[in-house]
Structure 1
């Protein structure tokens, strides 16, 4: 078995590598070459933590496995650790024998940012100039770095429940040479692309906060009950997702579906756009919404890439297991 510790990930996985891995696995999911297993995600009744498993099998890339982990909201304050903790396990598809254990914290951040970035590439208007961020936590910095590489953005605007955290994303914008302005939610209407990355159970973004022609990536809703945007927005947008089954059950579409505002058929795979079987955006006035629920196949794709690189660079730890 190969072990790639968390401390080695930063030197192995780049944003470009994560983008390629996620784009390819979305395409495989859409053409039937890969599928996810049902998600298990539960409140454990200790430390307010959410814990679970995401897994799947990518027959195209021959990646089989799962990610185990979750969200410990008290980690940073109590232990100086990031709140999201996870590990990826890979198995040999031919024998079922465990083949790798990979630190999943940075990989999760990179693959989540890659997913929204892939959606921007394929769905946002080509002339998008203003980038809007709703959320300014740890994951938001990864989201913004990846997003700024997809269009020639001239300005970043941001809002957060805790305004004192906005310097996190302001620093990223400044590093990219793009001016930043803290705004009210009402001013998100000025953005051409919006990424929402919060952990709320009540919507922050209302339909009137999003202008015609905007692409919005909702990246925070990955659990039953969570919600970042008003359900009415999904009726005004063309909705895309990583996986339809997750979108309608634990993703942003769960609430609009439950309210009878949209149907399952109204939620489309982003992979279909990548493969060319769905046209994607069809006009400059169309609102496109990507519901990024986070699928296990994303984790397997980036982990498999990391294992390969670790072996090539001679830093993989091999153990007899």
Structure 2
């Protein structure tokens, strides 16, 4: 069995190739050639972390596998470990032979950002130039940079609960992308002025009132991945076109856990990519993508890392 370490994975998997790998895996699921298996996600009895397992298979690679790991919020403060810890195991689907162990901290960040970019490319207005983000944690930079790869972003507004962290993110992004105007803004201005809005926080309550969101805006709701989390107003969901990566997860762990999805008001982003569902239908339509993260994303980027380190 091969080992792909964190350094190798970061070298091999960029946001650009992760976006295409995730888009292909999404289409595979919609077309029936990839499957996600039941998810395990539980808070530990110790209270120190949340542990989960996501597993699935992709026929195109003859792979079955799983990603195990989760979130330990005290790591960064007391050690050199990041709060998010993940490892992916890949197996030969024909024999069950273990093929690889892939360290997946960066890959989890990259596949999450990639899913957001896939949704932006499929659902936002093509002429979108203003990007806003609520949240300044470890995923914020990759979310912004992935969006930049699929839209001609000219201005980025950043809001976070801590000015120091927001200013630090704006500084590093300005150095990396001097051609783009990047500012720290108030929460209301960030929401109201953005063609594309990304929410990536651990919030358990709505971050803004529904009337701040303008017509035609596309929103990537990336933060809710556990029961009890919430970033968007329920009333805003009722006034928008809704899209998801996994219906069950969105209804139980994601942003849609407070609404009734049985009425057919939400569509699969995966089906949109495969041409089985309709995406944005007008300039004024507001679209929301709820990303909860699915196993095929993890398998696709792990396989990409494995193939690039041969």
TM-score range, shorter chain: over 0.9
Query: What is the aligned-residue RMSD (CA, Å)?
Result: 1.3
C-alpha displacement of 1:264: 5.6
TM-score normalized by the length of structure 2: 0.95
Confirm whether residue 279 of structure 1 aligns to residue 299 of structure 2: no
How many Å separate the matches in 2 of 1:63 and 1:248?
28
2:231 equivalent among 228, 249, 260: 228
* 8 Å contact kept, 1:63–1:301: no
How many Å separate the matches in 1 of 2:123 and 2:151?
11
Q: Which residue of 2 aligns with 1:62?
A: 62
Between 206-215 and 19-28, the greater mean CA deviation after superposition: 206-215
C-alpha displacement of 1:269: 1.0
Confirm whether residue 206 of structure 1 aligns to residue 209 of structure 2: yes
C-alpha displacement of 1:279: 2.2
Q: Which residue of 2 aligns with 1:309?
A: 308
Deviations 1:5-54 (A, max 9, x none): 11211211111210111000111111222111111111113353111101
C-alpha displacement of 1:210: 1.2
Q: Which residue of 1 aligns with 2:254?
A: 251
Three-state SS of the structure 1 residue aligned to 2:287 is strand
* 8 Å contact kept, 2:159–2:185: yes
How many Å separate the matches in 2 of 1:12 and 1:159?
31
CA separation of 1:83/1:152 partners in 2, compared to 1, >3 Å: closer, same or farther? same
Q: Which residue of 2 aligns with 1:125?
A: 125
* 8 Å contact kept, 2:39–2:54: yes
Q: Which residue of 1 aligns with 2:159?
A: 159
How many Å separate the matches in 1 of 2:134 and 2:195?
13
How many Å separate the matches in 2 of 1:290 and 1:73?
26
Deviations 1:234-267 (A, max 9, x none): 111111111112111111111123xxxx536222
How many Å separate the matches in 2 of 1:173 and 1:286?
31
* 8 Å contact kept, 2:16–2:149: no
Q: Which residue of 2 aligns with 1:86?
A: 86
How many Å separate the matches in 2 of 1:304 and 1:264?
37
- 5 Å-filtered alignment, 1:1-321, equals 1-46=1-46, 48-170=48-170, 171-176=172-177, 177-187=179-189, 188-257=191-260, 262-263=261-262, 265-311=264-310
* 8 Å contact kept, 2:244–2:289: yes
Structure 1 segments unaligned to the other structure (5+ residues): 312-321
* 8 Å contact kept, 2:131–2:155: yes
TM-score normalized by the length of structure 1: 0.92
C-alpha displacement of 1:70: 0.3
How many Å separate the matches in 1 of 2:290 and 2:149?
20
Three-state SS of the structure 1 residue aligned to 2:206 is strand
How many Å separate the matches in 1 of 2:144 and 2:85?
21
C-alpha displacement of 1:287: 0.4
C-alpha displacement of 1:233: 1.4
C-alpha displacement of 1:57: 1.2
